[in-house]
Amino acid sequence: MKYHLSKHKPYCYKLTDFFFYTDKIRVLLLIGVLSCMSLASYAQDPTPDTSKMLAPINDISRNGGEFLTIQQCIDYALVHQPVLNQTLLNQSITRETNAIALSSWLPQINATGSGVHYIQQSNYSSATTAGGTSTGTSTTGTTTRTSAANSFIPELSVSQAIFSPSLLFAAKSAPLLVTQSKQVTDSTKIYLVSAVSKSFYNVLLTLEQINVLKEDTARLGKNLRDAYHQYKGGIVDETDYEEAAISLNNSKASLKQANENVVPQYAVLKRLMGYSPEKQFNVNFDTLQMAQSINMDTTQQLAYEKRIEYQQLRTQKDIQNEQIKYYRTSFLPTVSAFYNYDLAYENNRMSDLFSNSYPSQLLGVSISIPIFTGLSRVHSLRRAKLQEEVLNWSEVDLKSQIYSEYTSGLAAYKSNLYNLRLLQQNVNLAKRTYFVVSLQYKQGIVAYLNVITAESNLISSEISYLNALFNTLSSKIDLQKAMGNITY
């Protein structure tokens, strides 16, 4: 202790040493006088206004509005997110498209009508016998028109498809197309759950960093005041006070940066949720529940069929298989039945056109057989088989990708969880160390450099712990996504 004081104020060592060898009463009196002088110096030279240094910065975590938990944020996103609603509309569009394609199986009824007025009609002549004589028979010619000058023919036609390869393909692929559109929606939901959770944790991490930095700023402000008082009392030199001011300014700068960073992080979370930018909300979380939700069973085996990407690929292969079947059966004939009803009106005079009608009906079957199509069916079949092989190789690559994501996610989760536990111990040790060093500094046992080091270790360990917590939660989400275990 004497070395510490003599290092900063050499004359103090000589003075105290002198009175140490004199009468003890005189020592006590001198100490009392020095104390009064220190109090007088405090009154004449007031402590700097550190309250201005500690003025609260705008805290975005208190931005008004309701409080939402992570599950409430996810539920909100599953209802209001624009991209997800687009996929839901695409499901409806797919169903309507299938209905259009399958509508050809139903009877097709059409009504037509045509009105005709002949400006010039074609005539033909016929010979008739007029009488006979002793020398021969005489004939005369007559002219006949082929049709009336005016006609109007309404027609009702009904056709019914009996068999068609294209309609058969549409009927078999319709449920697969609906499944495919639903899987796109499921994939979007899985992405939203993952993205909203990570964004929520990112906002929460920054808010927790703000709280840590607030505590750090308050500690450094107190250290600044203590250093100032000790400097004015002649116990320490000016460098301790200046180092305390530097540490406080650095902490304030970090606090300001964290407060600014949380604004765009809230904006990202709002966009993922489909939340109105003008409205405000706060994140609400249960620390105990969050700590319990960190752990997960890492002994589960990877099942490829649980991944939505694998399910989508299987659906694509099923659709491609139906395409191959269609090209194989496209040589089959198209069979349909038809019925026509005509009601013809004919007359040479326009005013009497509808005075007489001549109805007619017919019923038949139509068969169309593709005999030669320029080998397009053969080439289409070959192309479909090649596309199926592409999908087979895509499945091989997808399995490898899923396994890589699973192993990476599992390794990241285990390492982050282990790191989190160690950093939690570091926080407890750093708090204890800072408490002891602060007491030692106040008693004059250690230099202020030790306080700075302990404070730096404390804030570093707390921030590192928060980052490790965020990384652990994020890696858990990545692992659940890789294993196909994300629910919605």
In one letter, which amino acid is 119? I
Give the CA count within 13 Å in the CB-facing half-sphere of 394. 15
Domains along the sequence of the chain with CATH: 1-42 (no CATH), 43-105+165-332+373-483 (1.20.1600.10)
The pLDDT tens digits of the residues spanning 91-119 come to 999 999 999 999 999 999 999 999 988 88
C-alpha 333/C-alpha 346 separation (Å) is 39
Give the H/E segment covering residue 438: helix 376-442
C-alpha 342/C-alpha 362 separation (Å) is 9
140 pLDDT exceeds 80?
Answer: no
Extract the tokens encoding 454. 């302990």
- Choice among 129-138, 319-328, 363-372 with the minimum mean pLDDT: 129-138
Give the H/E segment covering residue 192: helix 165-232
C-alpha 482/C-alpha 283 separation (Å) is 27
- Per-residue pLDDT at 124: 60
Task: Identify the CA nearest to 4 among candidates 19, 22, 16.
Answer: 16
291 pLDDT exceeds 90?
Answer: no
Pairing mode, if any, of strands 66-68 and 281-283? parallel
State pTM to two decimals: 0.75
CA end-to-end span of the chain, whole Å? Answer: 65
Average pLDDT, the chain: 82
C-alpha 281/C-alpha 302 separation (Å) is 38
The pLDDT tens digits of the residues spanning 14-67 come to 333 433 333 333 433 333 433 443 333 333 333 333 333 233 333 434 455 689
Indicate the pLDDT class of residue 249, thresholds 50, 70 and 90. very high
How far, in Å, are 141, 163, 336 from residue 159 at the CA level?
A: 46, 12, 7
- The predicted model gives 454-467 an average pLDDT of 90
- Per-residue pLDDT at 63: 52
- Per-residue pLDDT at 68: 92
- Per-residue pLDDT at 128: 54
C-alpha 204/C-alpha 201 separation (Å) is 5
Give the H/E segment covering residue 138: strand 137-145
- Per-residue pLDDT at 36: 40
- Per-residue pLDDT at 292: 76
Extract the tokens encoding 418. 């282990």
- Per-residue pLDDT at 37: 37
From its phi and psi, is residue 296 left (phi > 0), alpha (psi between -120 and 50) or beta? beta
7 pLDDT exceeds 80?
Answer: no
Share of the chain above pLDDT 70, in %: 81
- Per-residue pLDDT at 123: 67
For residues 143, 146, 151 and 153, what is the CA-based torsion angle, rounded to 10 degrees? Answer: 160
The pLDDT tens digits of the residues spanning 187-217 come to 999 999 999 999 999 999 999 899 999 988 9
- Burial degree of 419 (CB within 10 A; 0-12, 13-18, 19+): middle
